Amino acid sequence: MNLWLIPLLPLAGAIINGLFGRRFAKRTVSAVGLGFVAASMVWTWVVTFRFAGLPPGAIPHIENYAPWVAAGDFSANFGLYLDQLSLLMALAVTGVGFLIHVYSVGYMAHEGGYYRFFSFLNLFMFFMLTLVLANNYLLMFVGWEGVGLASYLLIGFFFLRDSASSAGKKAFIVNRIGDFGFLIGLFLMVKHFGTLDFTGVFGSASKLPMETAGAGLLTTLGLLLLLGACGKSAQLPLYVWLPDAMEGPTPVSALIHAATMVTAGVYMIARSHAIFDRAPAALMVVAIIGCATALYAATIGMVQHDIKRVLAYSTISQLGYMVLACGVAAYSAGMFHLMTHAFFKALLFLAAGSVIHALGGQQDMRYMGGLRKHIPVTFWTMTAATFAIAGIFPLSGFFSKDEILWRAYSSPFGAWGYWAVGVFTAFLTAFYMFRLWFLTFFGEYRGEPEPEHHPERGGQEHHAQPHHIHESPKVMLIPLVLLAILSVGGGWVGVPEVLGGSNHFEHFLAPVFEEHTASAAEEAAASPAEPTGASEITLTVTATGAALLGIALAWLLYYRRRDLPGKLRQRYQTAYQILEQKYYVDELYAATIVWPVVNFSRTVLWRFIDAGVIDGTVNDSADAARQVSDRVRRMQSGNIRSYAGWVALGGAAVIAYMVWLGVR
């Protein structure tokens, strides 16, 4: 099936644009950048078509291309793995990725480094596709690290700005902490399973019994993999890089930090389900972290002023939902939300970019307002996405979020506590998203006449001309419309049975997770508190009610009684400040981790060891050589009588030696 084309085509685009792009015209750069990604996307569709024709026994379809590591008993190959899960991810990545590439042609048209942007974007596609299609953990880790690299390059794209390059570094370093956990997990796998191939690892894992005591190989593996996922998918405690990553251009935020890279952690957990299914303690930790993150990020997102920050915290929160779903072993629900979230979150970011572009660089919502008359297409598409993320029937977000909340309650690993937190977070989600909606598009325009005179208020554009508010060009609007269609209709593939659908999505992914669904079916049949269809409807109605309540509160505070937020802020000053300052977590990390490490590096490692010991050794030995030679040089004094003296001394020494020999 030539799966290798899917990741390697964008790599070719990255190399061409990277090496020669500086000399190309912008049109050529765009053509190269879009062309290779489009080719990869089309090939993915061809592969999908052929996949549909495969008999069930031929799935997963594995292609091995070349040996890579062969060390004693351990070997790893370059190979790709195609099953429903990786096909789904490949479709999402190439599809949404291509739309964002198209959008970037318009968005980045006035920026410098155009070729560099597309080269990095294509490079990211290559690594992400390697990650999702790899057939062993080692190649997946290559993709894992590579998307981290691409993220660093793209966040720090405007590298002349201090905040951007710091944000890039922060993202990479925090990711590395997660990768440390991931690597230790890989080492454990090599030690105990002897291989990193998916088939090998999952085969060995499935022979092990369920670990109920809470500690054991599979639990440890699960927790280590979770640490990796926390770094990549921005969960507690490693989420801090994602809000800062908004320093990158908006298409980057849409692609990497909403739709694809941050979902790699969720994909990895779903892929490793054979391990997690047998480690309930690890699953519990996953679920707790997921739902805690979802709630935590939603509270912060409520009071942010920068439109992209709100969306960033929203992403963290929605990722928390996906991780929660995996934590109750409802992997297909998590993947469903991953897919719908890719649609509406990418759309939200791209539309936000359209708003920012229309306002000439303004990102602060306090200076927006009343824009729906000026930028109608952006308004309507963003409206679709906002309703979708709030989980309103019949948009996509409703079905996926509802599925997760239902499973959080009813799964054998679920608990009503997860559901309760999830519903409350849904309320908060609806609230802050509609707050964003009302602040941006309704009311009076609160902007300053010439926003480009405020360069550091989060503005990232370098437009020189003053801007009247104008709609974005078609090349930016078409992806918005397409994503809006997907946000509205994308959930209809997963309508649950209780609402009359046949849940195609879950059945599609079922063979991947099948041993779990088998055991869950047994457990569900055996457990006395078997959930019924009626209770699912009740839960759905409650969740929808919570979302509507959030919308109503936002309507009240940001449309009807605009004075209320100010008064509330005055009354609850401390609480507001804690939320606005993001619970001071960044400051906490800076004080407890960053400051000691930096100081240790500066005083001990740099001044003492590097400059003192290493440089000192080299310098001192050179100095010693110079001093010795200084002394010895005085023998050559130019004074003949001293030469005569040395000759006489030498002669006397030789005679003494001879005498001593003779005496002996």
Q: In whole angstroms, what is the distance from residue 43 CA to residue 40 CA?
A: 5
Least Å distance, CB 590 to other proteins, is 59
Nearest alpha carbon to residue 494 among 325, 353, 324, 661? 325
Strands (E), 126-251: none
Q: Tell me: does residue 53 bind other proteins (CB under 8 A).
A: no
Member of 614, 644, 654, 658 binding other proteins (CB under 8 A): 644
CB 257 within 8 A of CB 242: yes
Q: Tell me: does residue 641 bind other proteins (CB under 8 A).
A: yes
Cβ closest to other proteins, residue 605 vs residue 655: 655
Cβ closest to other proteins, residue 526 vs residue 632: 632
Neighbour tally for 33: CB within 10 Å? 29
Counting residues that bind other proteins (by CB under 8 A) gives 11
Kindly tell me the burial class for residue 488, based on how many C-beta atoms sit within 10 Å of its own C-beta (0-12, 13-18, 19 or more): buried
Cβ closest to other proteins, residue 207 vs residue 641: 641
Least Å distance, CB 623 to other proteins, is 21
Please list every residue from 204 through 263 that binds other proteins, using CB under 8 A: none
Nearest alpha carbon to residue 461 among 359, 312, 375, 360? 360
Cβ closest to other proteins, residue 23 vs residue 634: 634
Cβ closest to other proteins, residue 577 vs residue 642: 642
Least Å distance, CB 664 to other proteins, is 21
Least Å distance, CB 652 to other proteins, is 9
Q: Tell me: does residue 629 bind other proteins (CB under 8 A).
A: no
Member of 563, 634, 663, 664 binding other proteins (CB under 8 A): 634
Taking only Cα atoms into account, the Rg of the chain, rounded to an integer number of angstroms, comes to 30
Stretch that binds other proteins, among 77-85, 387-395, 516-524, 633-641 (CB under 8 A): 633-641
Q: Tell me: does residue 640 bind other proteins (CB under 8 A).
A: yes
- Listed in sequence order, the residues at least 6 apart from 640 whose beta carbon sits closer than 8 Å to its beta carbon are none
Cβ closest to other proteins, residue 537 vs residue 648: 648
Least Å distance, CB 628 to other proteins, is 17
Stretch that binds other proteins, among 194-202, 214-222, 554-562, 634-642 (CB under 8 A): 634-642
Q: Tell me: does residue 636 bind other proteins (CB under 8 A).
A: yes
DSSP code of residue 257: I
DSSP states along 368-395: ---GGGT-HHHHHHHHHHHHHHHT-TTS
Least Å distance, CB 627 to other proteins, is 16
Cβ closest to other proteins, residue 27 vs residue 633: 633
- Give the position of tokens 């030690």: 191
Q: In whole angstroms, what is the distance from residue 98 CA to residue 38 CA?
A: 6
Q: In whole angstroms, what is the distance from residue 138 CA to residue 186 CA?
A: 8
Member of 72, 449, 528, 638 binding other proteins (CB under 8 A): 638
Q: Tell me: does residue 637 bind other proteins (CB under 8 A).
A: yes
Cβ closest to other proteins, residue 591 vs residue 649: 649
Stretch that binds other proteins, among 83-91, 479-487, 506-514, 637-645 (CB under 8 A): 637-645
- Span between the terminal Cα atoms of the chain, in Å: 92
Helix, strand, or coil here: 77?
strand
User: Which secondary-structure segment (H or E) carries 70?
Assistant: strand 61-71
Least Å distance, CB 631 to other proteins, is 13
3-state secondary structure 332-368: HHHHHHHHHHHHHHHHHHHHHHHHHHHCCCCCEHHHC
Cβ closest to other proteins, residue 564 vs residue 656: 656
Q: Tell me: does residue 571 bind other proteins (CB under 8 A).
A: no
Collect contacts of 26-30 with beta carbons under 8 A, ≥24 apart: 26/109, 26/114, 29/114, 29/115, 29/118, 30/105, 30/118
Q: Tell me: does residue 632 bind other proteins (CB under 8 A).
A: no
Member of 112, 394, 645, 650 binding other proteins (CB under 8 A): 645
Least Å distance, CB 662 to other proteins, is 14
Stretch that binds other proteins, among 157-165, 206-214, 238-246, 629-637 (CB under 8 A): 629-637
Member of 537, 622, 648, 659 binding other proteins (CB under 8 A): 648
CB 282 within 8 A of CB 226: yes
Member of 27, 571, 626, 633 binding other proteins (CB under 8 A): 633
Nearest alpha carbon to residue 382 among 436, 460, 339, 426? 436
Residue numbers at the binding site for other proteins (CB under 8 A):
633-634, 636-641, 644-645, 648
